[in-house]
Homo-oligomer: A and B are copies of this chain.
Amino acid sequence: MILAVDVGGTNIRTALIASHGGTVQELRSRVSLGDRGVSENDLIEKLSALFSEIISSHNDISAIGIGFPGFFSAGSGILLSSPNLPQLHNVDLAGRLSEAVSLPVSMQNDALCAAIGEHRFGAGKGHANLLHITLGTGIGGGLILNGVPYTGESGMAMEFGHLRVAGSDLPRSCGCGGSGCVEAYASATAVSAQYFERSGIQTDAGDIYERACKGDKHAKEIIESAGHCLGMAIAQAIKLLDIHTVTISGGFAGAWPLLHPAIIKSLDTELIPPLKGKTTVLRSTLDDTAGLLGAAALIN
C-alpha cells in the first residue's frame, strides 16, 4: 500500500491507496499544518511524526506520495518555493522526510497531483492530454501532455488561477499582488466576497449556489460571472495548447449546473472559429480524492 498525503492550506489529509489506484481508504481526522511561519525543521518534524504514527499501525506501507502547495524542481522532490510558506526555499523535502521515516517519498505540486489523479483514474482517463483545474479557496491547474505531467522549467507551470481575464474596468485585487486574475472572480473565496459586497450577507460558496438555485438574483449572477471568467481563462489555455479535454474538481465545482453552461457560453465567444467546439469541459468524477490518488500515483 501507498500512504497518500494531500497537504492543503488548512489541513493535511492522509489515505491508504493500493499501488494500482482503486479504493481510497482515508485515514484519520484531518490535521492542520500550522501557521504560515512554520520553519523547515518544524515542518519536517510535524509531517514525519504524523507519517511515523500511521506507519507504525499499518505495516504494509511501502512508500509515501505527497501533494504539497508549492513548486518542485521536476521529479526531484526538492521544494523550490511555496506561496503559502514563503520562508521555505530549495528544501529537499522528499529527501529529508524519506530519511526521517525510512521509506521512499515522492512529492509534487498539489494541483498537478490532482491532474495526475484525474488523468489516471477520473474523468480524464483515456485522454493523452488534459488540463485539470482545481476550484476551491484558490484556483490551481495541472497539465498532462502526451500522458506526462508537465511541470515547466522551474516547476511553476499552470498558474492557471493567475491568468488575467479581460473586460473589467475595475479589476478585482488578487492574493498574488496583481489584479484581474481569474482567481479573484471564480474561486470559492471570490464568490463569497462578491456575494457579501452585493448582499451584505457573509456566507460560503456552497450556500451561495443553493441560494442561486432558489432564485437569488445576486447569487445567480455572481456564479454565472465566475463561469464566464473561467471560460475566458480556459480559452486562453486552449489558444496556446489546443487541448481537447478540461476537467474541473474542487468544492466550488458543486455549482456545476450553473457554472458549466456559463463556461461553455464564454468559450464559444472567446475561441477563434477553428478552435470552437473541439474542447469538452467535464466535472471531476473523483472530486476531493483526485489529489490523494495523484499523490499515490507519484510512486512507481
A167–B166 CA distance with the chains assembled, in angstroms:
6
Per a CB cutoff under 8 Å, which of B129, B154, B236 touches A278?
Answer: B154
Contact between chains at A153 and B274 (CB < 8 Å): no
Contacts of A169 in B (CB 8 A): 169
A270 in the interface (beta carbon within 8 A): yes
Given A71-B274, A236-B236, A241-B240, A180 contacting B151 (CB threshold 8 A): no
Contacts of A236 in B (CB 8 A): 163-164, 236, 240
Closest to A83 in B: B274
How far is the CB of A6 from the nearest CB of chain B, in Å? 21
A68 in the interface (beta carbon within 8 A): no
Q: A243-286, CB under 8 A of B: which get 1 and which 0?
A: 11000000000000000000000000110111100100000000
A158 in the interface (beta carbon within 8 A): yes
A232 in the interface (beta carbon within 8 A): yes
A165–B232 CA distance with the chains assembled, in angstroms:
11
Contacts of A165 in B (CB 8 A): 166
A121 in the interface (beta carbon within 8 A): no
Contact between chains at B242 and A153 (CB < 8 Å): yes
Contact between chains at B275 and A164 (CB < 8 Å): no
Contacts of A171 in B (CB 8 A): 166-167
Contact between chains at A177 and B239 (CB < 8 Å): no
Contact between chains at B244 and A153 (CB < 8 Å): yes
How far is the CB of A173 from the nearest CB of chain B, in Å? 13
A77–B264 CA distance with the chains assembled, in angstroms:
32
The DSSP consensus for interface residues of chain A is loop
Q: A148-160, CB under 8 A of B: which get 1 and which 0?
A: 0011111111111
A180–B239 CA distance with the chains assembled, in angstroms:
14
A162 in the interface (beta carbon within 8 A): yes
A145 in the interface (beta carbon within 8 A): yes
A192 in the interface (beta carbon within 8 A): no
A157–B282 CA distance with the chains assembled, in angstroms:
21
Q: Can you report 25 A-B residue pairs in the complex whose CB atoms are below 8 A from each other? A: A81-B274, A141-B240, A153-B242, A153-B278, A154-B242, A154-B275, A156-B242, A157-B240, A157-B242, A158-B240, A159-B275, A160-B239, A160-B240, A163-B240, A164-B166, A164-B235, A166-B168, A169-B169, A176-B273, A177-B272, A178-B270, A178-B272, A236-B240, A237-B240, A240-B241
- Interface residue ranges, A against B (CB under 8 Å): 71, 81, 83, 129, 141, 143, 145, 150-160, 162-169, 171, 176-178, 180, 232, 235-237, 239-244, 269-270, 272-275, 278
Closest to A167 in B: B166
Given A166-B171, A166-B180, A129 contacting B156 (CB threshold 8 A): no
A177–B168 CA distance with the chains assembled, in angstroms:
20
Given A145-B145, A167-B166, A155 contacting B242 (CB threshold 8 A): yes
How far is the CB of A32 from the nearest CB of chain B, in Å? 24
